[in-house]
Amino acid sequence: MIFACIAPHGGECLPEFAREHPERAARTRAAMAEMGRRLEALRPDVVVVANPHGLAVPGAFTVPLGAAAAGHLAEGEAVVTAAFPMDVDLAWTIAEEAAARGLPVAPVFFPPGAPVPLDWGALIPLYYLGRSFDPLPRVVLITPTREVPLEAQVALGHAVAEAAEASGRRVAFVASADQGHCHHPEGPYGYDEKSAEYDRFFCEAVAAGDLARLLKVDPELVERGKPDSLWQALILHGVLERVPMRGELLSYEVPTYFGMACAAYTPVGAAEEGAGTEGTAPDGRS
């Protein structure tokens, strides 16, 4: 396991979709580009993406298995496409490791010629974290379930880390995650002060290098703040329990109605020269 990160998936993370309002999400795009540069320099073999919007089997962690993953996003006349080979062996090993821990896991097989769909939750992070790399990394996609205790997310992270270590491949883990979705009264979920409160709680945990705090989150913050970051971040926490890494909160902003945070993680041995990179809690300004 050579790298990990928290990466948002809002449409304005893509330069092609931000041309009318380039100031929106500018810090986020810069942070995602920086994470991409860091990961590309490490030459990953595989990028594992935990994505809340992916293919889902109710009540189970879903792991699609196919030869390739592909998708496109369109906004107006702008179209962004991406396609990757998949690492079926690693995906299957993660599923086996998860099942061995008693976790509900659902491998979903795609026949030859039928690519696994890349939705915005995977394609947008991979735009920066693999799409332009040479050689192109393989991908593994995981959709968490919210129908299990939070501790089960951590256990899945253990499975991911141990499968990655056993594979002998250079593996990166991406927690695709947006923050609270109730920052603006004209947004689809209206306004609720708990979005800002959740985001502050989340970013302070990241900046402190203490994702374990997320296990103690007030359920009201989650219910009213409407984040989609908690579950993937706890999978990341499980990864970090097996592969200690130094984290850096690179950015946080609220350009529209939902928050977006970027954080990068480097294994401790490789990060010692960059000591002091744990980051600071964001101020919440967009």
Percent of the chain with pLDDT over 70: 94
In whole angstroms, give the CA distance from residue 286 to residue 284.
7
What lies within 8 Å, CB to CB, of 242 at 6+ separation is 1, 157, 158, 161, 162, 165
Query: In the prediction, which pLDDT does 71 show?
Result: 98
CA distance 67 to 86: 5
Looking at residue 204, its pLDDT comes to 98
- pLDDT confidence bin for 18, thresholds 50/70/90: confident
What are the extents of the domains in the chain? Answer: 3-273
286: pLDDT confidence band, cut at 50, 70 and 90?
Answer: very low
Q: What percent of the chain has pLDDT over 90?
A: 91
* Interval 37-79: pLDDT, tens: 999 999 999 999 999 999 999 999 999 999 999 999 999 889 9
Average pLDDT of the chain, as a whole number: 94
Note the pTM of the prediction, 2 decimals: 0.93
CA distance 64 to 69: 9
Distance, first Cα to last Cα, the chain: 33
CATH (residue range 3-273) = 3.40.830.10
pLDDT tops 50 at residue 30: yes
pLDDT tens digit string along 80-130?
999 999 999 999 999 999 999 999 999 999 999 999 999 999 999 999 999
